[in-house]
Structure formats: C-alpha cells, structure tokens
Amino acid sequence: MYYRLFRWFPKSAFSRLMGLLAGIAWPGPLLHAAIALYVRVYRIDMSAFVVPDAGFRTFNSFFTRALRPGARPMDEAAQAIVSPVDGTVIACGRIEAQRLLQAKGRTFSLRALLGDDPAWASFDGGAFLSLYLSPRDYHRIHTPCAGRVTRFRYVPGELWTVSPTGVQGVPDLFARNERLITFLDTALGEVAVIKVGATVVGKIRVVYHEATSNRPRATLLAGTLAAPVALAKGAELGRFELGSTVILLLPPGAARLDALQAGDAVRMGQTVAHAGV
C-alpha cells in the first residue's frame, strides 16, 4: 500500500526542500523552541553531545551534533570491528548467491546495491550489516576499522523512506535509493560503508571529498583518490543531514558477525564483528 500511494510523490525535490529549510539560520527563539520540542518528542539525552555556548545556529547543526569525548567507548583490539553509527539492526548475515536480506521474505541484489561497481563480486559470500538511523539517533558516520579511503562511488536513485514501512513495503529498497559508497582498504581486504539516502535526507557528506548526495540531474560518479586518506578505527567518515541507513559489507573469510538480530540497538564504537572466521 505504501509503495502504491507514494510511487509518484516527488521525494527527491521534497527532500532537497527539507534540507534547505534545515540549513537556514532561523530566529534564535524559534529555532531553540523547535530543537527543544524535537529533543523532548524523541527523548534525546543531550548530555552525550557537544552543545555550543550560543546554541545551535541551524537545525542541521543540531542534527549533525558532535559527541562529547568518551561518550562512545570503543574496543581498541585489532580484531574488533565496530558499528559505524548509532542505530537499529535491520538485517545482518551472509551475502548468499549475490543477494542480501532486506527484510523477512525480501532480498535484493549485491551488484545493484554497489551500482555495478567492477569489484562487486568480491563481496559475494561475505558478511553484511544493515543499520537504520532513527530521528533520535546520532547522525555522524565513523569507520568500522582502520583503513585507507581509496575510492568512492555515488549512485543516484530514489528517496523512499528507510523506516520499517519502507523496508517491508518497497522492493529492492536499498538498491533503489541513492547511495554514497566509501571503499576502505583495510587489513581485512576492501570494506564498503554504504550510506543510503532516504526521504527528507537533505545531503550525505563525507570527510574525504566534496561529493554530496541528492543533487538535481545527478549521474553516477566513480571517484578514485589520488592520495588515499588514512583513517583510524572510529574516525569520522561522513554524516547524514537528516536520517537514513548504513550498510556495512565485509569480504568473504574476513570476519564473523557477533550475535545480532533484527531490532537490536547498537551504538557507534560497539563491537559488531571480529576479524577471522
């Protein structure tokens, strides 16, 4: 029903508009009241975050707020692979026959998810972890393990909601929505951190390139960094300017996922897999 109702809704234009509004410096009292209401409705513990002395200047600056040092303890063991975000597990497991689980009764194509990247088959048989970021979650994205950003891929697409409604109701949701994919060269092999756009997501940004998502008339962009960017485990990789989903792909034989299941809450820095099998 959701798919039929919203198939023709201008989701991309609406999301760009919401992103524009979120970036405007509204009058202080109005903005502060809106943020206070948002915090109350979504029961956000602001003690974990850095709040500027003068308050946030835009809603986006609030939404992409930084964590206080030590707010997300991290397992520093070399074999520990950590969650790149705060979120809820949508699905996880093994990539089998080039398919990933979207939700019970639904799978989608690995090749389509990676936008026909030439190396897509190298992840077949590996592990995946899909994480949904709700409106109350911290929306910066971090590295799951130490590595070097060597290349990225921006795949234009639609902007369906990635809430449980979308996951259950939209076929091939994560391979249909736009994606900004970071490839990390790590001790495990190449790891992919896939940032999936969604309705109301104004932009996806990354720290290593000026590429952003949700651009009018965008075309596929496959970028290789002339100077790879080295990032420690847990380093900031990018951010969502309003919510979405991250999918982590690990190559075959590289790691085993911890005992996670759909609906589990995880926090950035929490161990979600261990190197080895």
Q: Give me the active site residues, please.
A: 86, 142, 244
Identify the CA nearest to 192 among candidates 232, 133, 145, 236: 145
- Paired tokens of 68: 């206080």
* 141 within 8 A of 195, measured Cβ to Cβ: yes
For residues 108 and 68, is the Cβ–Cβ distance under 8 A? no
Q: Is the distance from CB of 127 to CB of 257 less than 8 angstroms?
A: yes
List residues bridging with 89 in a β-sheet. 131
Nearest Cα residue to 81 out of 192, 228, 162: 192
Q: CA–CA distance from 45 to each of 18, 25, 40, 58, 138 (Å)?
A: 24, 24, 9, 19, 10
Question: In the chain, what is the straight-line distance between the N-terminal and C-terminal CA atoms, in Å?
Answer: 41
Beta bridge partners of 90: none
- Tokens 């249909």 map to which residue? 176
Question: Smallest Cα–Cα separation from 78: which of 233, 182, 229?
Answer: 233
Sole residue written with tokens 């809430």: 163
Cα separation, 249 vs 100, in Å, equals 10
> How many alpha carbons fall within 13 Å on the CB side of residue 118?
4
